[in-house]
């Protein structure tokens, strides 16, 4: 039998899997949500649209693929069809595919997923910084507001460090602007030390002379 498949049910032509939605950022303050924790290893990195994955099935080379995550968060997997991986970690995605293959096709499947190309994510840092422009968010690490400003050359001589604004657009289209005091961040203001998200806009105004 090809692929060493063990069929114990009728083949399903397509199997759609819906991932749990991501928890949103609390809108009462610029604080990190549980889904924004830094990822130190690929096993904890949360998959995003346009990530390129190498999916390997142990001893089933015919099923190995390089797959790019769609804008909807799905990948097209051999035999399984469209599988939704949005906001799942690499390890969670491995366990999900193993479970799906186990249900109808393989005995004790072992899945390995490697991110071979990360999607591009960035924030804009504007106003009174020495090198305003776009700042890339590292693939497997968090980026804070102070990190982003440092990557933009730091504050200019006329920067108003106490009235920085951060504008964020949420998936539902709602836009919220936060006002942040950088000096308090340096002093340890944990309530406003959330990590940045793709598309955030930071603006550093000039201070009045």
Structural domains in the chain plus CATH codes:
2-20+41-117 (3.30.1950.10), 122-204 (3.10.560.10)
pLDDT at residue 37 in the model: 41
pLDDT at residue 186 in the model: 78
> pLDDT digits over 107-166, tens only?
999 999 999 988 888 899 999 999 999 998 887 678 889 999 999 999 999 999 999 999
> pLDDT digits over 51-91, tens only?
999 999 999 999 999 999 998 999 999 999 999 998 899 99
> pLDDT digits over 159-194, tens only?
999 999 999 988 778 899 999 998 888 777 655 567
Which distant-in-sequence residues (6+ apart) come within 8 Å of 69 by Cβ?
Answer: 47, 48, 49, 50, 51, 52, 53, 75, 85, 119
- Give the chain's length: 209
> pLDDT digits over 22-40, tens only?
223 333 355 544 344 433 3
| H or E, element range at 146 | helix 145-151
Give CA–CA dist 140/89, Å, rounded. 11
pLDDT at residue 22 in the model: 29
> pLDDT digits over 199-209, tens only?
899 999 998 86
Sign of the Cα torsion 182, 186, 192, 193 reads: positive
pLDDT at residue 138 in the model: 81
2 has pLDDT over 80: no
pLDDT at residue 31 in the model: 53
* Residue bearing tokens 């366990």: 95
């Amino acid at each position: 039998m090809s692929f060493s498949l063990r069929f114990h049910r009728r083949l399903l032509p397509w199997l759609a899997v819906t991932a749990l939605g991501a928890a949103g950022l609390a809108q009462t303050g610029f604080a990190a949500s549980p889904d924004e924790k830094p990822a130190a290893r690929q096993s904890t990195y949360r998959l995003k649209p346009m990530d390129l994955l190498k999916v390997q099935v142990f001893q089933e080379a015919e099923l190995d693929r390089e797959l790019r995550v769609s804008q909807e968060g799905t990948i097209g997997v051999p035999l399984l069809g469209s599988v939704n991986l949005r906001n799942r970690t690499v390890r969670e995605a491995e366990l999900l595919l193993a479970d799906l293959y186990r249900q109808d096709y393989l005995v004790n499947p072992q899945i390995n997923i490697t991110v071979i190309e990360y999607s591009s994510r960035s924030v804009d840092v504007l106003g009174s910084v020495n090198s305003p422009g776009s700042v890339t968010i590292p693939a497997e690490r968090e980026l804070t507001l102070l990190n982003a400003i440092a990557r933009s050359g730091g504050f200019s001589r006329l920067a108003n460090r106490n009235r920085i604004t951060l504008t964020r657009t949420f998936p539902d289209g709602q836009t919220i602007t936060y006002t942040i005091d950088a000096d308090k961040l340096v002093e340890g203001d944990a309530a406003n030390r959330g990590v940045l998200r793709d598309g955030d806009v930071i603006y550093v105004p000039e201070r009045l002379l």
